[in-house]
Structure 1
Amino acid sequence: MWHNIIVLIATLFVVSLTHWVYRWRNPKCNGKLPPGSMGWPLLGETLQFFAPNRTWDTPPFIRDRMKRYGSIFRTSIVGMKVIVSTDSNLNYKIFQQEGLFQSWYPNSMTKVFGEHNLSTLQGYLHKYTKNMVLNLVGYETLKNMLSEVESAATTTIQRWETSQEIVELKAGTANLVFGLTAKKLISYDLQNSSENLRENFDAFMEVLISVPIAIPGTSYRKCVQGSKKAMKMLKNMLEERRTNPNKSNCDYFDYVLEELKKDDTILTEEIALDLMFLLLFASYETTSTAMLVAVKLLTDNPQALKELTDEHEKIIKNRENPDSGLTWEEYKSMKFTFQV
C-alpha cells in the first residue's frame, strides 16, 4: 500500500513539474507571442545574456537569436519574461507612443538609480519629466553649448600633452564630460568644489553585471554606498540653492524649485533628484565609452582616421580665421565625422 502511495506522489510530482516547465516555455498571451526560447525555468537565458564577449559588433546573444528567430523574439532574463526588439521601425513607434509600453530594469538597478528615475516612470509622468529634460538640453541649448564643449576639450587635450605621459582615455573623457554636464545642469564646478561628486559614480557600471548582494566588499555594495553619497550631495546642493538662489544663470535646480512652488505640479523633490542623478551618470558614462571605442577603431583603421582628419583640416582651411571657434554650420557639415 505504501509503495503505491509513493508511486502516486512521485507521478503527480513529475506531471506537475513537467506541466510547470511546459507553461514556462510556452507562456500564455492574449495575442500572439514572437518566436524564441524562455530557457531554463526561473534562470531563463540569463547566463547567455551576461556571458562576456570580445566583439565590437552586435552582442552574440542578440545576433544569434536574430538569425534564428528574426528581429523580434522572446526570452527570459533575471527571472523576467521579456520581448526583445531589434526592429528600428517598431522601436521608433515604441518611443513615440507614450503609455503603451513599459520600460523595465532589475530591482538591483532601481535601488541604485532611485525608485523615481526616468526609466521607471510611466505614462503622463514619464512624458512630463522627458519634456522637462528637453527644455534644459534641447536643440537650442546644444547649439549654445558648442563653444563651451570645444573650449573644454581643447583645454583638456592641451593639459594631457603638457603634463601627462600616459592618458587613460575613458577616465579622462569621463571627467571632461561630467564637468561640462554638472556645470550646465546644476552649476557644479568639479575643479573648485570641496566635495568630489564625480568619484561617487565610479563603481556604477559594475552594478550591471554584479550579483545584487549588498554585503561588505561586493561591487553592488560599493554602488549602493556611492549612490547614497551622491544623492545626499545633490539634496544638499538643492537645499543650498533654495536658501541662496542662483542669480547669474538658470539651471536644472532653478527650474525644479520653480516647479515645486506651483500648486498643480506633479513634480516631487524625489523625482527631481533621481532624474538629475540618472542624467549625470548617463551623460558621461555613455559618452566616455563611445569615445574609447571610437579611438580604438580609428587606431585600427588608418584609412578612416585619414578621412576624418582630412574633413576637419578642410573645415579649418576654408575659414577666414583658422583660430576661430567651431560654428554650428561647420559642425553640421561633418558628414564623415557623424558616421564615425
Structure 2
Amino acid sequence: RRWNSSSPRLPPGSRGFPVIGESLEFFRQSPSLELFPFFKRRLERYGPIFRTNLFNQDLIVSMDQELNNLVFQQEEKLFQIWYPESFMRILGADCIIATLGSFHKHMRSLVLKLLGPENLRLVLLHDVQRATQASLLSWLDQPSIELKEATSSMIFSVTSKRLISYDSSSSDGKLWKQFDAFTRGLIAFPIYVPGTAFYKCMQGRKNVMKILTKMLDERKRASRQDSVDFLDLLLDDLKKEKLLRNEKIALDLLFLLLFAGFETTSSGITAALKFLTDDPKALQELIEEHQSIRKRRVDPDSEITWEEYKSMKFTSHVIHEALRLSNIAPVMFRKATEDVHINGYTIPKGSKIMIDPSSVHLDSTVYKDPIVFNPWRWKGTVEPVGGASKEFMAFGGEVRLCVGADFAKLQMAIFLHCLVTKYRWKAIKGGTMSLSPGLQFPGGFHIQLLPKA
C-alpha cells in the first residue's frame, strides 16, 4: 500500500530515498547487544509505531507491546501472514510461513509428526544426544572451533537424517555447504547481481532444491513398505491428493524445515556459550545442575532421560535469557485485513506491518537491566508456551508458527549437558554479538574444547 496525505491519522515516519527507501540504514552493521540503531533512532524520533520504506515496500513498524500482542491475538481476523517478495523468493512462494487457514493447519500437522512431543521424547532426544557426543569428541583434536558453523553442521546432521534420511557423515557435506551459502545472504539487500550476498543466497537455494528434487524423484521410483522419514510422509500426502497439492509445495516445505532446523538453534547455542563464557557464576550453577543429574544415575554415562531433561530448570533459564538477548527471530511481518485503530493512529486495511521483538526483549520497563545476561530473572516465571508470550517472542510471536521451538530448546539443553559434564572450553576469539536485524550471529566466536580437568 502507498500512503498519501489524505490517509487518516497515520503513524509518523519517512519513506527515505526513492526505490531503496531506508534500506541502506536498516542493513548497516552494528556490533552491539543494544536496540539496533535503525529502530532506536526512530523510536526516539517518532515513538514505538512509525512508517518506513524497506525492500521497496511501505511498512508500518511496531515496537509497541500492545500492538504486537494485538497482531498475534487477532491473526487471521484483523491481520494475516505476509512477507516481502524478496524474502519469499528466498524461502519459496509456497512455504509454510506464508500459508493461511486450513492449508496452514494441514502443513503444520505434517510438521508435528516430525517435531511433536511424542517424537521429541521417543526419537529426537536420542538422536540429538548421539550427534552432540560425536561432534564434541571430534572437536577435541582441533586447536580452534568456529562455534556457529560447527553447531550448525551438527544440528543439520540430526534434522537431515529425520527429514530426508541424509547421512552428513558419509557424504562430503555437499548439501550442508549449499545451505551455508544460502544462510550467509539470507538477510541482505535484494540485488540479484553476481558477487552480491543475495545472489549467492539464491544460488545456494537453487543448488539445494536441485538436490532435494533428485531425492524426491529417486524416492518416488523406489519400492518401500513403511514410512521411514518426513519425505515419505510428504509423498504419501501427495499420493492421497490431500491439501499438499504439488511437489513444489512439498519441496519448499522440506527446504524451510532443513534451514530452520539448524539456523536458529545454532545461533541460540552460540549466544548461550558466549554469555556463559563471560559469566563464571552462571556457568558454575549450570555445571552443578548437570553434575547433580549425573550423580543420581546408576550409570553416570547413560543417556539423558526425558524426566532428566524436564528437570533442567536453570538450564531452561539460561536458554531463555540467551534467546532474549540474541533475538534470533529479529523481525516478523503481517498485513492488516481491516482498518485498525490503536494509540491514536489508524493502520489502514492492506497496510504491511513489520514487528520488532527486540524492542520488548530490551525494554527496561519489561526487563530490569535488559542488556545484562541474567538467567536468574526467569526464576519463578511461567515458561513461555511454544517459545512465545506477550513479553517473549524468541521464535516468533504466534505459538502455532513455533512448532520447532520445543525441538530447539531440547537441542540447546542436551548440548549444554554433554558439554559441561565432560568438557571445558576457552574462548579463542570473541566474535560479533550483533550485526544487523536478522543476522545476530554471523560467526567469529571461536573456542578450544578441552577435556574436563
Short-chain TM bin: 0.7 to 0.9
Q: How far has the Cα of 1:184 moved from its partner?
A: 0.9
* Greater relative CO, 1 or 2 (CA 8 Å, sep 6+): 2
User: Counterpart amino acid of 2:91?
Assistant: F
The 8 Å contact of residues 179 and 189 in structure 1, kept in 2 or not, is answered as yes
Name the SS of the counterpart of 2:99 in structure 1: coil
**Residues 221-236 of structure 1: matches in 2 within 5 Å?**
221-236=199-214
**1:75: how far off?**
3.0
* Residue of 271, 294, 317 corresponding to 1:339: 317
1:246 CA drift (Å):
4.8
If each structure's strand is expressed as a fraction of its own residues, which one has the higher value?
Answer: 2
The amino acid of 1:152's aligned partner reads: A
Alignment partner, residue 326 of structure 1: 304
Aligned residue in 2 for 1:28: 7
Paired residues for 1:2-13 under 5 Å: none
Q: CA deviation at 1:157?
A: 0.4
Map of 2:415 onto structure 1: none
Look at both structures and tell me which one has the larger radius of gyration over its CA atoms: 1
Structure 1 residues 90, 56: CA separation in 2 closer, same or farther (over 3 Å shift)? same
List per-residue Cα deviations over 1:142-171 (Å, max 9, x = no partner): 12211221121111101111x212111111
Identify the residue that residue 127 of structure 1 maps to in structure 2. Answer: 105
Letter in 1 for 2:57: M
Q: Can you list the C-alpha shifts for 1:102-135, whole angstroms capped at 9, x where unaligned? A: 3333333322222211233233323322232123
Go from structure 1 to structure 2 and tell me whether the alpha carbon gap of 1:92 and 1:99 turns closer, same or farther (over 3 Å shift): same
Task: State the aligned residue count.
Answer: 315
- Specify which of 69, 72, 76 is matched with residue 99 of structure 1: 76
Is 1:60 aligned with 2:37? yes
C-alpha distance in 1 between matches for 2:106 and 2:67: 23
1:199-218 to 2 correspondence within 5 Å? 199-218=177-196
Equivalent position of 2:128 in the other structure? 149
Contact 1:170 1:292 in 2 (8 A): yes
Which residue pairs with 2:434 in the alignment? none
Residue 243 of structure 2: SS of its match in structure 1?
Answer: coil
Structure 2 residue aligned with 1:11: none
Matched-pair contact (CA < 8 Å) for 2:55–2:84: yes
More displaced stretch, 177-186 vs 211-220: 211-220
Given that residues 215 and 221 in structure 1 are in contact (C-alpha distance below 8 angstroms), is that contact kept between their aligned partners in structure 2? yes
- Determine if contact 1:24/1:38 at 8 Å carries over to the other structure: no
Query: TM-score normalized by structure 2?
Result: 0.63
Aligned to 1:138: 116
Q: Quick one: distance in 1 between partners of 2:22 and 2:165?
A: 44
Root mean square deviation, CA, Å: 2.7
State the partner residue of 2:22.
Answer: 45
User: Greater helix percent: which structure?
Assistant: 1
Alpha-carbon distance, 1:180 to partner: 0.3
Tell me if the contact between 1:256 and 1:272 (Cα under 8 Å) persists in the aligned partners.
yes
Q: Which residue of the other structure, out of 139, 160, 169, is the alignment partner of 1:160? A: 139
**One-letter amino acid of the counterpart of residue 25, structure 2:** Q
| Alignment pair present for 1:80 and 2:57 | yes
Structure 2 residue aligned with 1:270: 248
1:262–1:112 distance in 2 versus 1, CA, 3 Å: same
Q: Does residue 309 of structure 2 align to residue 309 of structure 1? A: no
In the TM superposition, what whole-angstrom CA distance separates every residue of 1:169-197 from its partner, at most 9, and x where no partner exists? 11110110001000011111112237721
- Change in 2 beyond 3 A, CA 1:35/1:311: farther
Change (3 A) 1:304 1:327: same
Preserved contact between residue 220 and residue 235 of structure 2 (Cα < 8 Å): yes
Shift of residue 275, structure 1, vs aligned partner: 1.0
State the identity as a percent.
46
Number of the residue aligned with 1:286: 264
Structure 1: how far apart are the matches of 2:251 and 2:260? 14
Alpha-carbon offset, residue 284 of structure 1? 1.0
What is the CA–CA distance in structure 1 between the aligned matches of 2:21 and 2:228, rounded to whole Å?
Answer: 48
Structure 1 spans left out of the alignment, 5+ residues: 1-22
Q: Distance in 2 between matches of 1:168 and 1:178?
A: 16
Say whether the 8 Å CA contact 2:157–2:168 is kept in structure 1.
yes
